[in-house]
Amino acid sequence: MADVERRPLVVGNWKMNGLRKANSELLRITQDAVKLPRRIELVVCPPATLVANFAGLARGSRVRIGAQDCHPEPAGAYTGDIAAEMLADAGAIMVIIGHSERRSYHKETDAQVRVKTLAAWRAGMTAIVCIGETRAEREGRQTLDVVSRQLAASLPEGARGENLVIAYEPVWAIGTGLTPTAGDVAEVHHLIRNKLTERYSNAGASMRILYGGSVKPANAQELMKVESVDGALVGGASLKADEFLAIAAACA
């Protein structure tokens, strides 16, 4: 199979952080993003309260706006939930689905991740589906089995490079300052790529696989050089324009 060119993608997950005064940080990102190579794609996923505002501020810039979760249904009596169509209407073009914090704190299953992915597609958004093992699973040498199972059960048919991004985030590395070795990341990303191409053929080869889990400017260059790493899903470091852009620059 011929090599497929995949544009580097760097996604900032702001999690439950950010008030309207965070506009200044987004504006710094949009202003300085012009210094990056054009092939690098930048997406910022703020809390739902800021999606529409950020989408307006980012309009016409290199930066696009995403969201952090969506409900499977397009509308209904689901107090407190937000439909994918609502996020798209607010200006989101991507949505993070199945993040380990959702899987852990909200007990989301692979089956729920799958239907939320379908909801994102229904609304015309790209789904960023997160997978990854816990520390106990890593120490029990179950990483590849866990990742394989999550891929098989979380992804619907009909996936292609334009509507699906995979984010490998080892749970034990998120927010801890710990990161797997470059070799560990390469092993898992190689497995993911093989599983995607086995299931989706050429479309699987075009899907981007991001690494996430304590990505910082200090380790970004090493991680972004790993084969089959097509970018990063960045947590805390994405809240500061300088750090987020430095990580993006490591993809050049």
Does residue 12 belong to any structural domain of this protein? no
Summarize pLDDT for 82-130 with one digit per residue, the tens.
999 999 999 999 999 999 999 999 999 999 999 999 999 999 999 999 9
Summarize pLDDT for 202-234 with one digit per residue, the tens.
999 999 999 998 899 999 999 999 989 999 999
Q: Is 85 a catalytic residue?
A: no
Residue 133 lies in domain: 40-241
* Cα–Cα distance measured from residue 79 to residue 77, given in angstroms and rounded to the nearest whole number: 6
Does residue 26 belong to any structural domain of this protein? no
Catalytic residue among 99, 101, 133, 243: 99
Helix (H, G, I), strand (E, B) or coil at 238: helix
pLDDT of residue 3: 54
- Cβ-contact 129, 98 below 8 angstroms: yes
Does residue 232 belong to any structural domain of this protein? yes
Confidence at 179, pLDDT banded by 50, 70, 90: confident
Summarize pLDDT for 28-54 with one digit per residue, the tens.
999 999 999 999 999 999 999 999 999
pLDDT of residue 2: 42
Question: Within a 13 Å sphere around the CA of 55, how many CA atoms are in the beta-carbon half?
Answer: 17
- Cβ-contact 249, 24 below 8 angstroms: no
Does residue 14 belong to any structural domain of this protein? no
Confidence at 4, pLDDT banded by 50, 70, 90: low
Count other Cβ atoms within 10 Å, centred on residue 225: 12
Residue with tokens 């990063």: 232
* Distance separating the N- and C-terminal Cα atoms of the chain: 25
| pTM, full prediction | 0.96
- Cβ-contact 10, 43 below 8 angstroms: yes
Average pLDDT, the chain: 95
Does residue 252 belong to any structural domain of this protein? no
Q: Is 71 a catalytic residue?
A: no
- Cβ-contact 89, 65 below 8 angstroms: no
What DSSP character marks residue 83? B
The domain that contains 77 carries what CATH number? 3.20.20.70
Does residue 118 belong to any structural domain of this protein? yes
Does residue 235 belong to any structural domain of this protein? yes
- The answer to whether residue 1 scores a pLDDT higher than 50 is no
Summarize pLDDT for 9-31 with one digit per residue, the tens.
999 999 999 999 999 999 999 99
Does residue 112 belong to any structural domain of this protein? yes
Number of structural domains in the chain: 1
Catalytic residue among 101, 133, 137, 169: 169
Residue 161 one-letter amino acid: G
pLDDT of residue 176: 84
Beta-bridge mates of residue 10: 42, 232
